[in-house]
A = this chain, B = another copy of it.
Amino acid sequence: MQRYFIDEKYEPKTTYKISGEPYHHITHVMRMKEGAQFYLVFSDQVVIQVEIIGIYSHEVHVKEIAKENQEKELSLAITVACGYPKGDKFEWIVQKATELGAAEFIGFPAKTSVVKWDEKKLAKKQQRLAKIAREAAEQSQRSVLPKVHLLSKQEDFLTLFSHYDYVLVAYEESAKQGETAELVHLLQTVQNNSRVLAIFGPEGGFLPEETTAFLQKQAVLCGLGPRILRAETAPLYLLSAVSYHLELLNK
């Protein structure tokens, strides 16, 4: 069943009015008629199943049929932060990591990032990534729509660390040295609803001065198994491992 995110908090009403992009998709792409049903996801993560009771020139009117009761979200809010990778890799990190439950994305220029994006390019890229996140969140039946923040300076990224309960850095050298304990320790001890910042390098990895700066801000270097994962694969490993531990193993 289709799923649409709307930018308002849930409050019980007899009629909900849907306009803008979801209106367009419902009427012109899906060509739904009166009586058709879909899910409506509010900004406070309440999800309701609704039925169309009227279609007007710029609005669809729906009524609530039921609440969705299956928990779709990880019990940790994981922010995936990537040093800008090449080409369109960030786009598919956002798509796949949204499917896998990421709460938020941050892009920042790492020292070995090849791409150089100015403010105008960043704004355009942000829009595109936000659209990809929205489509992936609808498709994977999320109840959170991950936000995307693209930064133009690494210093700005470092100032954000204090907003998180844990900061992990996926570090190739840790993988090579057989580091296996940090992620397990986090998942065995973390409290529900903690905020985790997980940092991933671009293709060229992080320079020692970058990991030093992260470590000074209480980050922990963490291995993700013995194989060397590409920049775009490591975030998917982390999110899958978190889901496995918290949603399958500890269920």
Q: How far is the CB of A207 from chain B (nearest CB, A)?
A: 19
B241 and A244: CB pair below 8 A? yes
- Known A-B contacts A99-B230, A226-B70, A226-B71; the reply to A244 vs B247 at CB < 8 A is no
Residues in B neighbouring A223, C-beta threshold 8 A: 248
B233 and A99: CB pair below 8 A? yes
Q: How far is the CB of A174 from chain B (nearest CB, A)?
A: 11
B140 and A247: CB pair below 8 A? no
B251 and A240: CB pair below 8 A? no
A227 and B142: CB pair below 8 A? yes
Counted per complex, copies of this chain come to: 2
Question: Quick check: is A202 within 8 A (CB to CB) of the other chain?
Answer: no
A230 and B100: CB pair below 8 A? no
B140 and A227: CB pair below 8 A? yes
Q: How far is the CB of A13 from chain B (nearest CB, A)?
A: 27
Question: Quick check: is A122 within 8 A (CB to CB) of the other chain?
Answer: no
Query: Per a CB cutoff under 8 Å, which of B96, B225, B245, B247 touches A247?
Result: B225
Question: Quick check: is A236 within 8 A (CB to CB) of the other chain?
Answer: yes
**How long is the Cα–Cα vector from A136 to B145 in the complex, in angstroms?**
32
A230 and B139: CB pair below 8 A? yes
- Known A-B contacts A183-B248, A247-B180, A247-B226; the reply to A233 vs B139 at CB < 8 A is no
Residues in B neighbouring A139, C-beta threshold 8 A: 228, 230
Residue-wise, chain A 33-60 has the 8 Å CB interface mask toward B (1 for contact) of 0000000000000000000000000000
Which A residues are closer than 8 A to B by beta carbons?
70-72, 96, 99-101, 139-142, 176, 178, 180-181, 183-184, 223-230, 233, 236-238, 240-241, 243-245, 247-249, 251
